[in-house]
A and B are shown apart, each in its own frame.
Chain A
């Protein structure tokens, strides 16, 4: 049921109050409601934008032995764990991580039973058909399905309900202060689940943590993840994990919207291009590895350049080698004209291109694999797909860092319970991006955010319901 009358918020004591309205919050709400609890979801966004960053997701990484739903073959605990270890470079909590991995297998049928539909791997993502189950229609379809299930279970949802403060006495939360309909309301509850995401959309916070250059970052996800609840908990001495100065950023099209650009701002042309900064100088090996393994580091690379911008330049031979970008390329018949259009120093760009072209060697160019076609004597080198930029028309795309999420989060145990200055809280659980830093200390593994959200969202809901039973 959608709550419209603010009086209902403070009319009685709710069993379980959930801050947030994305995947983790919904999993918690459904579990708690199925256990018989009276549940309230406080979603900060309006209905059209409900679901936090889950709205932009597309798949769920899942352990399985043999075919499961849309997943083929086997993806066992150890392989999953090794994948996680590799991307996080060891910055993870093995106990929590293995718990998430093991539980993921049970989650997929649970998701299906609660309205989520899966589809075979999308075109161009065949490499993930063993590890990641894709949602039919994407993350917003999943969010819709969960809201409908929650509604059928009698969960109450308040949209545009901004949680301002969690009232805590000792180890016990007593209420949440929420802004709704232009006024502040006190919502009393017996158990609380905090699942309201990271702080990446609070640009000032991002700038304090990362440095002023963060003001030039684009935020790929929801503008509603401003970390208000996280900050409130930090101020009250809750224990945290994850590097507060770090965020996960990928290189995206520089023309993308400031917020909420999502998947379509993706740009896949870097390996077939040279990338220059605003001084028309190259700064990194564009052909180091295949793009799915490198797009994440390019966010940081571009972030380190002046004005946090890069330009990926290709010639006509490469325009058909990658998934189409949603933005048309900037095109020109000469490098000089391209420099004009991009606002780059023309002489410097001409020299960079000429130097690169001179360093290219003949070889067997192969776009689908590491072809070893490398430059010679060039710094930095291009170690694969190094083919000269010489066949007009020339094309360019601008690049900017696109932030996906922040790592700082609440520390939780295997029951998703958060910890305060005096030990574990009696009745506060946390799930989703808000505690993902416990498991993802660095890097990212496609579809693992949804795994964490589903596993710990469900646990938080079950535990909260048990607490009030």
Chain B
């Protein structure tokens, strides 16, 4: 039996490199193991004795930043080991998204800078105003302002090109973490974990330590669920509209008791409430436990997502009035910016996190540790 001990680092050698620093802290955690019951990260740590770069990337993406381990840690500063695992893993995680993003460079800009996201929103909105002004409408409701054909021409590429970019990033991720062939069981496990936000439960349902320091709270889990399910409902609403349009030849506008509205209105409300809640919780949370230098980009992303939800609801509220045109431009501008920036904004975290959960399920199964 042999072990590559050259991977091991000196526990006292604090590093500025995100991967090196995460490795140093993870090694200390593996020698302690007190936090094993909090989330999936610690059992995954105990399955290794030394940690290659790919292991660090996987652990970093598995971490949901619940912060339970930080407040329970006997080695946080001023201790000379100066552990802050939530921050170390957040740094390594963000670093990995920026490394995997294609084309490179864009992620750095949009993950770090809220202003860049705001600028993208302004440009998207301006483009939509220009499109509405320059292209003929054709149909009822908002199609009177911008025709269905024009919308498809703009949003089909704006939807699929980012998906291609995300797929390239995920493929790079999968190679780095040493993933194997994915089974339905892996996807089911990951889906259950993400669907219940199991890794924000604190291990026993008491929640996480995001906004109340060492006191546990389920607030972040709840607002994140609101955002996630709100987003998924909105997405389902758009998909339902597309199906109705093409398969059943039923064109917008749809009434309240139609599938797109029944999915979209609650979805929009959840998205708006969730984003507002998330912004409020972030104000109370200790920024020292999050990703250094990414706070503005993360906040900007929540604002953008909330704006998409709010403008969508307003668009419905002002239907039949002269405000439809400007609001349509605002809403579609937001959607355009949001779609195009998906691979380069905080939105990417959902894809990587889910992939990390798939990999974790796979690894647990491979080691007989389900």
Contact = CB atoms under 8 A, between A and B. Distances in A.
A117 to B, nearest CB: 6
Contacts, number: 110
Interface stretch (A96-104, A118-126, A423-431): A118-126
A257 to B, nearest CB: 6
Interface in B10-52: 10-11, 27-28, 30-38, 43, 46, 49-50
B134 interface: no
B184 to A, nearest CB: 28
Contact of B31 (A49, A58, A136, A266): A266
Given A120-B37, A137-B35, A326-B31, A319 B79 contact: no
A135 B43 CA distance: 16
A183 interface: no
A211 interface: no
A144 B5 contact: no
B37 A119 contact: yes
Contacts of B74: 55-56, 138-140, 260, 262-263
Contacts of B28: 264, 326
Nearest to A119: B37
A325 interface: yes
Contacts of B27: 324, 326
Interface string A207-248: 000000000000000000000000000000000000000000
B78 A264 contact: no
A180 to B, nearest CB: 20
Contact of B80 (A135, A137, A257, A321): A257
B69 interface: yes
Main secondary structure of the interface of B (DSSP, over half): loop
Nearest to A142: B72
A137 B76 contact: no
A144 B71 contact: yes
A141 B221 CA distance: 20
A203 interface: no
B309 interface: no
Interface stretch (A273-281, A302-310, A327-335): A327-335
A119 B49 CA distance: 22
A114 interface: no
Contact of A124 (B11, B33, B214): B33
B266 interface: no
Interface in A249-273: 257, 260, 262-264, 266
The 5 closest A-B CB pairs, nearest first, are A138-B34, A137-B72, A119-B37, A328-B8, A264-B31
Contacts of B1: 317, 319-321
- Could you say which interface size class chain B belongs to? 35 or more
Contacts of A147: 214
A469 interface: no
B206 interface: yes
Contact of A328 (B5, B38, B81, B204): B5
Given A263-B31, A320-B1, 17 more contacts: A124-B46, A135-B34, A136-B38, A140-B72, A140-B73, A144-B71, A144-B72, A148-B215, A260-B74, A260-B79, A263-B32, A263-B34, A266-B31, A324-B27, A327-B11, A328-B10, A329-B5
Interface string B345-367: 00000000000000000000000
Contacts of A58: 34
Interface of A: 48-49, 55-56, 58, 117, 119-120, 122-124, 135-141, 144, 147-148, 257, 260, 262-264, 266, 316-317, 319-321, 323-329, 331, 395
A327 B50 CA distance: 12
Given A320-B3, A326-B31, A328-B9, A264 B75 contact: yes
A264 B73 CA distance: 12
12 contacts: A123-B46, A124-B46, A138-B74, A260-B74, A263-B34, A264-B11, A264-B31, A326-B30, A326-B31, A328-B5, A328-B9, A395-B5
B5 A136 contact: no
Contacts of A319: 1-3, 5
A142 B8 CA distance: 31
Nearest to B214: A144
Interface centre among A117, A266, A324 (most CB of B within 10 A): A324
Nearest to B11: A326
A260 B11 CA distance: 14
B68 interface: yes
B203 interface: yes
A135 B28 CA distance: 19
Contacts of A140: 71-74
A140 B1 CA distance: 36
Given A148-B215, A324-B49, A137 B38 contact: yes
A147 B214 CA distance: 10
